[in-house]
Amino acid sequence: MKDNGNAAALQGMNQVFAACNSDWRGLGIISDSGLAIKADWQEYDALHRFEVKVDEPVEHKGCSCGDILRGVKLPAACPLFGVACTPENPIGPCMVSSEGSCAAYYRYRE
């Protein structure tokens, strides 16, 4: 089998990054689901190199994105869907991009 460079790319990623807990909008913190720059490479990490302030994410209380992403609810079951939350005025992460589950459901709902 011919190596298409994936092994070298993975080796480079493993050299620079380590798995870390990550906070996913609508889902919360998932263990080892993110990547953090290792200590040997922190001089290239903007969070350490610059005074970057990252605000805590704020979830809208009426948003059902977590349930939608887990398949517990359909987008139309969210009380905000198509009323307060539209592609032009996205409230939750599922509506933010055109590939989001709510945005796709909104676009193709007919």
The residue extents of the domains of the chain are 1-57, 59-110
Mean pLDDT value across residues 16-21:
96
Tell me the DSSP string of 26-77: TTEEEEEEEEEE-GGGGGG-HHHHS----PPP---TT--HHHHHTTSS-GGG
What is the value of pTM for the model shown? 0.67
pLDDT, averaged across the chain: 90
Class of residue 1 by CB neighbours under 10 A (exposed 0-12, middle 13-18, buried 19+):
exposed
Give the phi and the psi of residue 35 in degrees, each rounded to 5: -125, 140
pLDDT-derived band at 2, boundaries 50, 70, 90: low
**Rounded Cα distance, 57 and 25, in Å:** 7
Residue 3, pLDDT score: 65
